[in-house]
Amino acid sequence: MGNDIHFGTDGWRARIAAGYTFDNVRRCAQGFASYLDQHGKSGTAMVVGYDRRFQAQFFAIAAAEVLAGNGFRVWLTDNPTPTPVISYSIVERAAAGGINITASHNPPWDSGFKVRDEHGAAIAPAGLRDIESAIPPISQVRRIDFEEGKQQGLIRVWDPAPAYIEHISKMVDIERIKQAGFHILVEPMWGNGIGWFPRLLQGGRTSVTEIHNVPNPLFPEMSRPEPIPPNVDVALRKTVESGANVCIIMDGDADRMGIGDENGTFVNQLQVYALLAYYLLEIRGERGGIVKTLSTTSMLDKLGEMYDVPVYQTGVGFKYVGPKMLETDAMIGGEESGGYAFRGSVPERDGILGNLYFLDLMVQTHKTPAQLLAQLYAKLGASYYYKRVDTRFPPEKRPQAKARLDAAQPKLLAGLRVTETITLDGYKYMLQDGGWLLIRFSGTEPIIRVYCETTDENKVEPLLEEGLRLAGLA
């Protein structure tokens, strides 16, 4: 019966009240408990947290009841909590892992069930398969009532924020940002990032204006809490109207980030990743590997060459990035969706720390976001242009599309010679100008994605058209 629930790129997500039910959440929690027991971790501590989506707190309680029923000591967050705070808490509480009830940037009708290991990191694909195979029928789920679990000391409700704030205060000089005199517009997308930056930056010369800062699981004024246009259009407009120096954005569970510049222009995820790597290498003088998914920027390869640091490419998802960061003691890891992780913290996306690092980059260089991007391009000797097109695509049609792509083997795309084809995760065609075209199926939604990056702005649309044609979508 376990095969009716499938773990994708970052756990399991489904439509609330259709596939995503209390019984199925309990079954997933039992599968994870059995997996941990098989690895000799029975009776250890576990962290459970949740986002602001419909019924998320009660789904989290249901998961906590199952873990407690299996003998685990559960730390349950006392409020909707950013994913990076939950991940850090696993390490801080010396837990064996964690469960996070969140669908991250998915549409409002979805919820999710994310699992984390003892490092606060995403679990590698082999482990996810083992957890999935351990999911039992509901009749085999062991659970204990929430109130009884609290009385027995198996479930404790606590506030994870103070320990996390103390931790990130050692990673970046927050006081320096507080005294910088910035006006910052914050877009938490109705989600778990609400209130965090006003709390972190209060009491100094910097002022913070926060929008969309009350819980609303319908995510008005956006199609989903994903930190990319058009979902950020309102925030970008208000950045200009308010005269803010920068717009900092977090997705629904605050593990991903986005940036709007002082002119209300979106700084895309690939540009942000390159700027964060540049910040660590040039401004902070750090050295270490860079881990990137194959859907993100070639600017990182160029920075790796310039600063003599290795760059590792993985499949899409932090289930690949996190383990590679641990294996290589990487300085930074990230992906095209706007999620970045940093050495010295947990190998998991952190939209709070990432935004603080970007603000510190502005402070230390005395430059605006637009000026920083111009400085980066001058350093690299070229400008880079990126775009992504998402198309609904039924899973049952994937084999046919895959066969079509397997047979294609193009030599030219939009007039650019294909220098290499990488099939690590989808179909990535490296191009003679240093750019690329990627076609891949989403691991979390019934979507096919076509992405490109190029140093020739006029090639963006032709490359995307080529990708859609190759996938049989045009």
Chunk the chain into consecutive blocks of 10 residues (it has 474) and report each block's average pLDDT, rounded to whole numbers: 74 95 98 97 96 98 98 98 98 98 95 96 92 97 98 98 98 98 98 98 98 96 96 98 98 98 98 98 98 96 98 92 94 96 97 98 98 98 95 89 93 96 95 94 87 96 96 86
Residues 73 and 206 in one domain: no
Residues 129 and 174 in one domain: no
User: How far is 385 from 365, CA to CA, in rounded Å?
Assistant: 24
Residue with tokens 């019924």: 55
Residues 187 and 142 in one domain: no
Residues 367 and 331 in one domain: yes
The backbone torsions φ and ψ at residue 390, rounded to the nearest 5 degrees and listed phi first, read -105, 135
CATH number for the domain including 121?
Answer: 3.40.120.10
Amino acid 446: pLDDT: 87
How many beta carbons lie within 10 A of that of residue 38, not counting itself?
12
Domain that holds residue 235: 164-380
Say which DSSP state 426 is in: S
Residues 352 and 392 in one domain: no
Residue-wise DSSP of 184-207: EEEE-TTTTTTTHHHHHHTTSS-E
Residues 401 and 393: beta-carbon distance below 8 Å: yes
Residues 240 and 342 in one domain: yes
pTM above 0.85, yes or no: yes
Residues 142 and 179 in one domain: no
Amino acid 3: pLDDT: 60
End-to-end CA distance of the chain: 39
Residues 422 and 398 in one domain: yes
Sheet architecture: strand order including 447-454: 385-392, 447-454, 436-441, 427-431, 416-422, 412-413
Residues 69 and 207 in one domain: no
Strand 447-454 relative to strand 385-392, pairing: antiparallel
Nearest CA-CA partner of 273 in 245, 250, 296, 239? 296
Q: What share of the chain is helix, strand, coil (3-state, %, to 5)?
A: 40, 25, 40
Q: How many domains does the chain have?
A: 3
